[in-house]
Amino acid sequence: MTSAAIILAAGRGTRAGGALPKQWQTLAGQPVLAHTIAAFRGQVDRIVLAIHPEDAARAAAFGLPMVDGGSTRAASVRNALDALAGQGVTKVLIHDGARPLVSPGLIAGVLAALDAATGAAPALPVTDALWRGAAHVTGTARREGLWRAQTPQGFRFDAILAAHRAHQGEAADDVEVARAAGIEVAIVPGEEDNLKLTFAGDFARAERILKGRGMDIRLGNGFDVHAFTEGDHVWLCGVKLPHTKSLLGHSDADVGMHALTDAIYGALAEGDIGTHFPPSDPQWKGAESHIFLRHAMERVAARGFRLANCDVTLICERPKIGPHQGAMRAALARIMGVEVDRISVKATTSERLGFTGREEGIAAIATATLVSA
């Protein structure tokens, strides 16, 4: 089965105040939408954003497929469902971009419920007394059987696609669309922290919740090898060093930068360089490795993290690395946009053993630590 998440972020959110729509306002140092997207990374196979056309440049930093939102919530969902049609998606989650505190457990619970149900959505039982009125109380209502709806609302893909295509007009949410099409929707226990940011005061509450969750620390490792070939220089950690040979590779073969880039992608659980820049694509032949490393750092920011430190070890007999360590650290710091004291570059030999000992090539290992911003 293939799962997908549609994140709705096309609204203007005027009740929250501020110069930007609420999904683009800052929460704990990152846009609200960055937190929302991060919650779904690794939980589903695909993520699609429904955005306002004016926000396309901002949203592009997330590196996700995008569709234009419609004039209504239902229209935005329909556009995203149409974009996913024919791609083998069997389960789809539809989530409000302004609910950045959804937990992995809640996402997993809705997906699991779809093994037995055509539709499933989280909700919380109403526990407060209910009144009718305006300036004065004019009546009361029973709270038994009433629920506070949340997202993500999940469905078997074909069923909700057909329901949306048949639906006319607006709907409060996708459960309303589903029920109009005769789809039964199972209730999954919701979470109090899964609030929808609506008013300015909601941001302060969300900040408190995020602080209470503690810091997210990610560790990634990278390893790379390149063989020597004919040439008169090598690129190592962004520095060009004269040498009797060059390194062979599809790009500029900067083995140190490649290992570091893979370490960062690994910490994010987003594959490796080949995932983002396939060697089968001719446009990357001879590419400078700083392109890959900058992209990895853009992904760090988009996911709501920052680099705590990184450590690169180059394994070779020659060229000698010691005299160039400072320049390498400075080059990496400039490319990554971080302080140089967060970067370590060092070297070792393999005591004349193996391919590096025979001077047939250079290897590199790297470690990167990311912390939630």
What per-residue confidence (pLDDT) applies to 15?
65
Q: Where in the chain is the domain with CATH 3.30.1330.50?
A: 217-372
pLDDT tens for the 373 residues of the chain, in order = 799 999 999 987 666 667 788 999 999 889 999 999 999 988 999 999 999 999 999 999 899 999 999 999 999 999 999 999 999 999 999 999 999 999 999 999 999 999 999 999 999 999 999 999 999 999 999 999 999 999 999 999 999 999 999 999 899 999 999 999 999 999 999 999 999 999 989 999 999 888 877 778 999 999 999 999 999 999 999 999 999 998 998 788 999 999 999 999 999 999 999 999 988 888 888 789 999 999 999 999 988 889 999 999 999 999 999 999 999 999 999 999 999 999 999 999 999 999 999 999 999 999 999 998 6
Q: Where in the chain is the domain with CATH 3.90.550.10?
A: 3-213
What per-residue confidence (pLDDT) applies to 185?
98
How far is the C-alpha of 214 from the C-alpha of 31, rounded, in Å?
18
Q: β-strand 185-189 against 119-125: which pairing, if any?
A: parallel
217-372, CATH topology level:
60s Ribosomal Protein L30; Chain: A; (3.30.1330)
User: 278 is written with which tokens?
Assistant: 């396939």
Owner of token pair 């959505």 = 121
What per-residue confidence (pLDDT) applies to 171?
94
How far is the C-alpha of 156 from the C-alpha of 178, rounded, in Å?
11
Q: In CATH, which of 3.90.550.10, 2.130.10.10, 3.40.1010.20, 3.40.190.10 is domain 3-213? A: 3.90.550.10
Three-class SS string for the chain? CCEEEEEEECCCCHHHCCCCCHHHCEECCEEHHHHHHHHHCCCCCEEEEEECHHHHHHHHCCCCCEEECCCCHHHHHHHHHHHHCCCCCCEEEEEECCCCCCCHHHHHHHHHHCCCCCEEEEEEECCCCEEEECCCEEEEECCCCCEEECCCEEEEHHHHHHHHHHCCCCCCCHHHHHHHCCCCEEEEECCCCCCCCCCHHHHHHHHHHHHHHCCCEEEEEEEEEEEEEECCEEEECCEEEECCEEECCCCCCCHHHHHHHHHHHHHCCCCCHHHHCCCCCHHHCCCCCHHHHHHHHHHHHHCCEEEEEEEEEEECCCCCCHHHHHHHHHHHHHHHCCCHHHEEEEEECCCCCHHHHCCCEEEEEEEEEEEEC
